[in-house]
Amino acid sequence: MSLLVVGTVAFDAIETPFGKTDKIIGGAATYASLSASYFTKNINLVGVVGDDFPQAMIKEFNNHGIKTEGLQIKQGEKSFFWSGKYHTDMNTRDTLDTQLNVLASFDPIIPDSYQDCEFLMLGNLMPKIQMQVMQRMKKRPKLIVMDTMNFWMEIAMEDLMENIKMVDVLTVNDAEARQLTNEYSLVKAAKKILSWGPKYLVIKKGEHGALLFHNNQVFFAPALPLEEVFDPTGAGDTFAGGFIGYLAHARDISFDSMKRGIIYGSAMASFCVEKFGTERIIGLTQEEVEERVQEFIDLVQFDITLV
Amino acid sequence: MSLLVVGTVAFDAIETPFGKTDKIIGGAATYASLSASYFTKNINLVGVVGDDFPQAMIKEFNNHGIKTEGLQIKQGEKSFFWSGKYHTDMNTRDTLDTQLNVLASFDPIIPDSYQDCEFLMLGNLMPKIQMQVMQRMKKRPKLIVMDTMNFWMEIAMEDLMENIKMVDVLTVNDAEARQLTNEYSLVKAAKKILSWGPKYLVIKKGEHGALLFHNNQVFFAPALPLEEVFDPTGAGDTFAGGFIGYLAHARDISFDSMKRGIIYGSAMASFCVEKFGTERIIGLTQEEVEERVQEFIDLVQFDITLV
């Protein structure tokens, strides 16, 4: 089924203990749509860039089955730019520079040809824009997954709460779940968030894996233990893209299907962090993806039969 | 098969965000042997206490199938005492007081009736004492599991390294694995440690679960997401006890059996943290243990069939 991905398409400059990049392609919707493209070829992108954004990358999107009719190109303007530096533990980072540019006036127009999308991925963006997207869909998608971040909890909490009530799946990291609920225990935080409306909650714990909560059930997927985490930028978006991409492919939004989605998302995220930016996830083969999923199976599989 | 557990049998005074205790029973060998007793009833304890240690607890050990012939009782002396305070995240703690008492002159005598033990758990202790135990076993046990801590890496690193070369399974936490190897990546740290001799390495990550490394294989078990972690004291020892207790019961030290041991150990540790001290693990039923293991199965089980 068709998938709509909304979010930033942008430039990043990244510094990690392993090196630094010049301006490279980044953005939540970039990572999410590329990641989803390994599971479904019916992806529609909504975002905004300036005329500094390379045509070659737009072609790359199209090659991955990602339609870009909804990617607005603002002539004479510049793309959103973020620059950050990671600490040794790779779990914390400092923002060095943020230039909103085209994002400051982003009006998320949904082309008519996108209106039949049944899966909606709302990448991290200003909550008001995420809301506009939901309001502009003539028919409510079958599944709405929304990602957000601590920044919006600080400056737009009321708007964010309105969104949370409307989505099916919320994805946040552990610190954000705690911030959102004032609960230290993730189990308590999850109960509180699910009571606000979402049927599913994904709590991303970086190198410590991800939890999926639904009613009183919980599922856990580890992160793959890697020799090096080279650059964590985009890992969360890549995870979300693999998750919803798998669900759109499977046409199944049951809890069991979501579990599989979490594993596919985790597998995609494990590729993402192996190189800078989108480098690793742009040219994967289906065989590589399946091999990686097999590594996740081997990582957690055990045979205890209780009577 | 019979299991020998060596380690501290002691008093603790614990403060957590949820409350504080007076002097309660603690010690690595206490937790490990109680935990193991849910899997095998052929457990031999070696340790030392003062005459302040309650006879009722020794009877409790015996009721759990734990033989105490090797538990030395020093008349006129006091038991080892540790006091600590946990921070809000429960992953860090400050030691408030340590009184070695009987431990200062501990000579680990192995009774003749213990000499046939085929499984040996060396709980966290001064490395020289752990080594004495290994040297005093007339026949090398089939499996030696050793736990240790950062403290010994700082003051007795050479002794500790001698031990590491001799054991089959080393258990450390993530910070200790990094400290031991000067490697931030746990995968690299594991490779280095395995190259020193142990066939298996368990890296305990507290609320983030545990990793088992063997050759180029890795297995991961999550910690059970709990509403509250009430008191983490003894969780690592309880984990180790459940692990080796299961292996001694199964008489199987293959990698697949070790995986099951990790799950049983994790299940036991998840009980331990629910109440202060040994309160929760002292009176469990087999049904409770099996139900908890089923929760672990449900937590990580997914069905992806790759062709």
Alpha-carbon gap, residue B292 to B242, rounded angstroms = 13
Q: Tokens 């005329």 correspond to what residue? A: A51
pLDDT of residue A307: 56
Among chain B, residues having any CB pair with chain A shorter than 8 Å are 88-89, 184-188, 205, 208-209, 211, 217-222, 225-229, 256, 259-260, 262-263, 290, 293-294, 297-300, 302-304, 306
What is the crossing angle of helices B28-36 and B235-250, to 10°?
40
φ, ψ of residue A2 to 5 degrees: the values are -80, 145
CA distance A220 to chain B (A): 5
Residues A183-235: tens digit of each pLDDT: 999 999 999 999 999 999 999 999 999 999 999 999 999 999 999 889 999 99
Interface of A with B (CB under 8 A): 88-89, 184-188, 205, 208-209, 211, 217-222, 225-229, 256, 259-260, 262-263, 290, 293-294, 297-300, 302-304, 306
Is the Cβ pair A184, B89 closer than 8 Å? yes
Task: Please provide the average confidence, as pLDDT, over all residues in chain A.
Answer: 96
C-beta atoms of B299 and A219 within 8 A: yes
Q: What are the two backbone dihedrals, phi and then psi, of residue B94, each rounded to the nearest 5 degrees?
A: -110, 135
Out of A211, A290, A294, the one facing B225 most closely (by C-beta) is: A211
What pLDDT, in 10s, does the model give residues B122-162? Answer: 999 999 999 999 999 999 999 999 999 999 999 999 999 99
Cβ pair B306:A294 closer than 8 A: yes
Question: What is the SS3 assignment for B13?
Answer: strand
Alpha helices in chain A (DSSP H): 28-36, 55-63, 127-136, 150-155, 157-166, 174-181, 186-195, 235-250, 255-272, 286-300
Beta-sheet pairing, A3-6 with A119-122 = parallel
User: Nearest Cβ partner of B300 from A185, A220, A225?
Assistant: A220
Q: Could you tell me the pTM of the whole model?
A: 0.94
Residues in chain B: 307
Alpha-carbon span B64 to B5, nearest angstrom: 14
| pLDDT, position B307 | 56
Cβ atoms of A237 and A247 within 8 Å: the answer is no
* pLDDT confidence of residue A158: 98
Mutate to test the interface with B, among A202, A219, A258, A304 (most CBs of B within 10 A): A304
For tokens 């991961």, the residue is: B220
pLDDT of residue B228: 87
- Angle between helix A255-272 and A28-36 (nearest 10): 110
Structure confidence at residue B208 (pLDDT): 95
Q: Which residues of B touch A286 (CB under 8 A)?
A: none
CATH number for the domain whose boundaries are A3-300 = 3.40.1190.20
Interface contact A304-B260, CB threshold 8 A: yes
Half-sphere exposure of B281 (CA within 13 A, CB side): 35
DSSP at B17: T
Which of B280, B279, B207 has the alpha carbon at shortest distance from A184?
Answer: B207
Q: Which residues of B touch A91 (CB under 8 A)?
A: none
Would you call A292 helix, strand, or coil by DSSP?
A: helix
**Whole-number Å distance between alpha carbons of B48 and B300:** 40
What amino acid is encoded at A263 in this protein?
I
Query: Which of B187, B226, B299 shows the shortest C-beta gap to A225?
Result: B187
What tokens appear for A201 in the block? 């909650």
Closest to B14 (Cα-Cα) out of B97, B69, B84, B88 = B84
Q: Where along chain B do its domains lie?
A: 3-300
- Residue-wise pLDDT for A91-127, tens only, equals 789 999 999 999 999 999 999 999 999 999 999 999 9
